[in-house]
């Protein structure tokens, strides 16, 4: 075989290999299909959503949007955007593009680190939100008190909320575990803010409070198009009124 023939054979072989690789990748994406959401959805809630980060890896958003089980489907998603003052989730942009491509309403969240400057964290998150043009009210994820006691933590969260609101003209909803909410927030001067509660015990007392809008009831859900377990959330009927940005 002459040189020209060898070169042509090499090109054909390369094309075949690439074709096979794309088929394998597509099959991998399509293989994350489930019979249901993996957990029973709490009754009396018609709005179901998920929250994801880089831990979920690459997501097939078409499959997420098309999944339906027992009359339930995904209505919204929250994407991790930032943490502390310098960490950006490396899947956030791709997830935002994917959610937008299937018209799935999405919001962004920041993981709060009490031992870092609250003001710098707020500005860092606000800059990310401005870039990605999210649909839903941003969320502040507060799960640890760091070195702070009750009052110091609340003061720090207040600074974050205030600075962010001044930058974006929108006050975030606060996400936290129900026990953390009861210990730190429920009787603080932030008690009238909007809250998103996590409780995996099958019921939540805090969700009965008027300003508690969402309940994360599971961290082991299964959703088409997502390889890993995923957080599942339900929302009250006033979700659309409270959570959508103007």
Of 26-30, 71-75, 100-104, 155-159, where does mean pLDDT reach its minimum? Answer: 26-30
Label residue 22 by pLDDT band (50, 70, 90).
low
pLDDT of residue 222: 97
With b for 16 or more beta-carbon neighbours within 10 A and e for fewer, the 190-221 pattern comes to beebbbbbbbeeeebebbeeeebbbbbbbeeb
Asked if residue 187 belongs to a domain, the reply is yes
Rounded distance between C-alpha atoms, residue 155 and residue 161, angstroms: 10
Q: Cα 72 to the chain's mean position, in Å?
A: 19
Q: What is the pLDDT of residue 114?
A: 94
pLDDT at position 5 over 90: no
pLDDT at residue 209, as a whole number: 96
For residue 52, list its beta bridge partners: 79
Q: Which phi and psi angles does 179 have, rounded to 5°? A: -65, -35
Cα separations in angstroms, 101 against 62, 91, 96, 98, 201: 8, 15, 8, 5, 34
φ/ψ of residue 217, rounded to 5: -100, -10
CA–CA separation, 142 and 183 (whole Å):
13
In a domain, 1, yes or no: no
**Dihedral sign computed on CA atoms, order 84, 54, 169, 48:** negative
Res 21 pLDDT > 90: no
Whether 197 is covered by a domain: the verdict is yes
CATH number at residue 215: 3.20.20.80
Residue 3 domain flag: no
* Structural domain contains residue 11: no
Residue 132 lies in a domain: yes
**157 touches 118 (CB < 8 A):** yes
Q: Does 18 fall in a domain?
A: no
**In the predicted model, what is the mean pLDDT of the chain?**
91
The pLDDT value given to residue 104: 97
User: 23 falls in which pLDDT band (50, 70, 90)?
Assistant: low
Query: Count of H helices and E strands in the chain?
Result: 7, 11
Q: What backbone torsions phi and psi does residue 170 show, to the nearest 5 degrees?
A: -155, 130
Domain contains 104? yes
Q: Is residue 13 pLDDT above 70, yes or no?
A: no
Give the span between the Cα atoms of 91 and 10, in whole angstroms. Answer: 35
- The range of the structural domain enclosing residue 90 comes to 32-243
Report the distance separating Cα 164 and Cα 88, nearest Å.
17
pLDDT, tens digit, for every residue of 29-83?
455 899 999 999 999 899 999 999 999 999 999 999 999 999 999 999 999 999 9
Give the number of domains in the chain: 1
pLDDT in tens, 180-201: 999 999 999 999 999 999 999 9
The pLDDT value recorded for residue 201 is 95
Short-list 41, 28, 96, CA closest to 68: 41
């Amino acid at each position: 075989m002459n040189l020209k023939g060898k070169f042509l054979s090499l090109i054909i072989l390369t094309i075949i290999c690439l074709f096979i690789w794309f088929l394998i990748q597509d099959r991998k994406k399509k293989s994350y299909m489930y019979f249901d959401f993996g957990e029973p959805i709490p009754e009396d809630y018609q709005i179901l959503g998920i929250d994801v980060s880089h831990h979920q890896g690459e997501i097939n958003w078409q499959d997420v949007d098309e999944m339906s089980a027992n009359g339930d489907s995904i209505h919204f998603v929250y994407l991790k955007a930032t943490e502390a003052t310098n960490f950006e989730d490396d899947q956030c942009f791709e997830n935002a593009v994917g959610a937008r491509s299937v018209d799935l309403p999405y919001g962004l969240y920041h993981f709060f680190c009490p031992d870092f400057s609250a003001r710098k964290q707020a500005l860092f998150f606000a800059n990310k939100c401005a870039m990605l043009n999210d649909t839903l009210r941003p969320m502040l994820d507060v799960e640890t008190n760091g070195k702070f006691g009750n009052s110091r933590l609340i003061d720090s969260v207040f600074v974050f909320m205030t600075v962010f609101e001044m930058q974006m003209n929108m006050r975030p909803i606060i996400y936290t575990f129900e026990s953390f909410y009861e210990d730190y927030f429920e009787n603080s001067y932030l008690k009238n803010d909007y809250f998103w509660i996590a409780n995996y015990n099958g019921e939540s007392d805090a969700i009965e409070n008027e300003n508690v809008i969402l309940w994360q009831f599971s961290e082991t859900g299964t959703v088409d198009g997502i390889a890993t377990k995923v957080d599942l959330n339900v929302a009250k009927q006033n979700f659309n009124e409270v959570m959508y940005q103007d």
